[in-house]
Amino acid sequence: MVSRIIPVDNFDLVVFGATGDLAMRKIFPALYHRFIAQQMPADARIIGVARSDVSEENFRKLVQENLQKFCPQSVKQHDNLQDFLNNIQYISIDVHGDKGWALLQKAMRADDDTDNNIVQAFYLSVNPSLFGIIASKLKQHHIAHKQSRIIIEKPFGTDAASAKALNAALRTSFSEQQIYRIDHYLGKETVQNLMVLRFANALWEPLWNSTHIDHVQITVAENIGVQGRGEYYDKSGAMRDMVQNHLMQLLCLTAMEPPSRFHPDAVRNEKVKVIESLEPVAQTDIVRGQYLASNINGDADGSYHQHVNNPDSMTESYIAMKVNIGNWRWAGTPFYLRTGKKLRSRCSEIAIIFREPPHMIFPKSSHQRANSLIIRLQPNEKIDLHTMAKEAGLGGMRLTEAVLNMNFQDTINNQLDVQDAYERLIMDVIRGSQTLFMRDDEVEAAWEWIDPIIDGWHKANHRPLPYEAGSAGPDDALMLMHRDGRRWQEIEP
């Protein structure tokens, strides 16, 4: 088979927050995998920056230990870990101060005046309160130039005003074309496959509207609680932490009009139009919850209130909502979104539920289901089409549900490992492709739709409903569907 790995240009990637959780768990493993795959040039450099005063040698050891922990198979199967580590440098900088920046400047190979084709990128894997200061220090110390790229992680603000302020702070040093706002959901194989499915096949487009689709469900369920991030989470909640970014992105990709071409701004323009078409949500179309303490199979765990150490907390660890999109394609087809912690299992998926056949010629059967297209993001990325079929054999016309696997795993990609979203996204930054990253107006439009909903809760002093850990969420969320004659997909691994 011809290799489908297209090597990227040589680069210097500076990772701020290099000793942190995200860097060790996701960024270094992603880079190591691209190194093994030879997509990354053998002499591409990674420069770790953090506050800790550790030597370069000890930093490399730390990276090595974490690679052994987070991708043990890859380390075992390849003997080039040392080559990868040799390309890593470390510089200790407290970004509030002025020490260390000159060293960083010296370590960079790319600059504005030389045409050496070395891409320069800065990954800000640090608290968002440091984004503005790092951006301005990079400019002040003549480290970043007009072609440099800067990568930032959510949260992109906590409301429209703070998102605008953050965007403005970044723009004092970087143009929008240089800024890559990561939402790792967009780097997932199936999310991209959704775009191909919709826009590279003529089959679906005539069906992709309210005439044929009854409703859409978007679920991002986690089975863990907020332990360890309690303080951050309690100021945020499911609406800010998940809906504003991940669920909103999935909704946009499902609902958007076909862009004129697969070009960053063409795609992002269509996504913004979806967000701007979202109708205000009535409080009666929202269910918020907080998980209770649990004891599942002898495994005792605290409640949301205990985990955030705040018995009066009114922040939601679960949210379900019915969202209407006010445009010709989707009028009459609601999108039901739900996300929560401590649910039955970890499961992220988009379910497109088609309408029932207009007239049923077969005897009524409990096996009859409307067709559905299930796009599973995690675990086990896949796309399944649920259809009705005849149960094989004699004995009359009995109907049964048949599931078609739309990944065509056996025919097109059985020889390729599915990459982690971070691998694809970091390589996209080096290639200079912004299609899978959020643009400033997208982020701001999402907050502008969400802010009045959160304000409404505050004004009404709204208290989330308790729900059992290990369940599918509060009973009222089931009612949100039942009252419309619908039901949620099962939350299953």
Q: Which helix (H) or strand (E) holds 350?
A: strand 347-354
In sequence order, the β-bridge partners of residue 48 are 15, 90
Residue type, 47: I
220 binds ligand NAD (CB under 6 A): no
Pick the closer one to ligand NAD by CB: 250 or 352.
250
Which residue is it, tokens 């960083």?
104
Catalytic-role residue among 246, 263, 359, 386: 246
Q: Is 322 near ligand NAD (CB under 6 A)?
A: no
CB 386 within 8 A of CB 374: yes
Report the residue number, 149 or 322, with the smaller CB distance to ligand NAD: 149
**Count of residues engaged in binding ligand NAD, rule: CB under 6 A:** 20
**Distance, CA of 336 to CA of 254 (rounded, Å):** 12
φ and ψ at 474, to 5 degrees? -65, 150
Is the Cβ of residue 21 or residue 276 nearer to ligand NAD in the bound state? 21
Residue 20 is a binding residue for ligand NAD (CB under 6 A):
yes
69 makes contact with ligand NAD (CB under 6 A) = no
**Shortest gap between Cβ of 165 and ligand NAD (angstroms)?**
16
Given a contact cutoff of 8 angstroms between Cβ atoms, the answer to whether 399 and 4 are in contact is: no
241 exposure class (CB count in 10 Å sphere: 0-12, 13-18, 19+): buried
What stretches of 131-219 show up as alpha helix (H) in DSSP?
Answer: 131-140, 160-171, 189-199
Q: How far apart are CA 48 and CA 33, in angstroms?
A: 17
Residue 74 CB neighbour total at 10 angstroms: 18
Position among 41, 128, 132, 432 found at the interface with ligand NAD (CB under 6 A):
128
Q: What is the identity of the amino acid at 384?
A: D
Out of 10, 64, 125, 371, point to the residue binding ligand NAD (CB under 6 A).
125
Residue of 9, 56, 83, 94 interacting with ligand NAD (CB under 6 A): 94
- Of 51 and 386, CB closest to ligand NAD: 51
Q: Which window, 17-25, 137-145, 268-276, 353-361, contacts ligand NAD (CB under 6 A)? A: 17-25
Confirm or reject binding of residue 50 to ligand NAD (CB under 6 A). yes
Closest CB 355 distance from ligand NAD, rounded Å: 37
The question of whether 246 is a catalytic residue gets the answer yes
In the region spanning residues 150 to 169, those forming contacts with ligand NAD, defined by CB under 6 A, are: 153-154
Choices 94-102, 114-122, 378-386, 445-453 (CB under 6 A): range interacting with ligand NAD = 94-102
User: What sign has the CA pseudo-torsion 443, 449, 453, 459?
Assistant: positive
d(CA 348, CA 380): 10
Residues with Cβ within 8 Å of residue 73, at least 6 apart in sequence: none
Return the residue of 61, 69, 76, 96 that touches ligand NAD, per CB under 6 A: 96
Stretch that binds ligand NAD, among 45-53, 237-245, 339-347, 371-379 (CB under 6 A): 45-53
Residues that bind ligand NAD (CB under 6 A): 17-23, 50-52, 93-96, 125-128, 153-154
Question: Active-site residue numbers?
Answer: 246
